[in-house]
Structure 1
Amino acid sequence: MDGVSQQGPLWQDRVWRHGVERPGQLVTLAIAVVLTLVAIDVLLVGQLSYFFDLGFVTACLGLALLVRPREFLLLAALPPLVMVAVFALLAPLDPDVVAEPGDNVVQALVSGIAHHSGALVAGYALFLGCLVLRHRSLRRG
């Protein structure tokens, strides 16, 4: 039982201090997770709802734990870029998912970002806050 209890903190320390994903893999993972959230929400509700918002915030926190310390600066703008990229993909395909029916592509993109700005701000704040805590932890240890 002691071997099991020792493995937990070591794994947690490895993820917290070192991260596990390279930048390209992390960007791909982020887009895949957010598109999965969109697909589930559209299947359940028909448009983006609080499910997407909560999932986006959770994904941002998870991504902040996976990034390697030497790529903190490189990936500091990841959450807003992922949301804009996904909404830019959805706006021409199905604008009703991210905006009001009848909105054009640009209007759907801006409207979608505005409607989900709370999730964007919360997710980005958690993402940056986690990176700051990890950086401080690395500097101390």
Structure 2
Amino acid sequence: MKNYDQFHDGWLDGLLIDQKSVQVFLSTEERQPFLVVANGVVALAADGFKAGNIVFEVVTRQKEELTLQDITRAYGLAEGATGQDQAQKLLAKALEQNLIVLEINPSYGASCVLLAESVDLLHRRESLDRKFAGAIV
């Protein structure tokens, strides 16, 4: 598990969803802007958005660290035996596909859990530089 401590008491500024790609806009407590780019997203659950979403923690977990709770939350599965059976099957598939979970837990406001093939953290300026590299200005 990797914990991104720099986002404790920072902000979850928003999400941009484009088919199987999700960009998560985060800021540190000092208002340093970052972007988490998740590609090959297979499941996403985000809720509780309010003005001023304060982050408690941001973590990623790799294949061997995925849990049934990760799967249940990301897919929004029902409680009980039916949900448990689905979660077991989806966890096996996630392990087979080598997926990563990104989990953002709030102190206030929004939470987010997603399963993806890759998750990268970039400073927002770096992401703009990549996007417009080679562009004629």
Normalising by structure 2, we get a TM-score of 0.29
Larger radius of gyration: 1
Q: Which is richer in helix?
A: 1
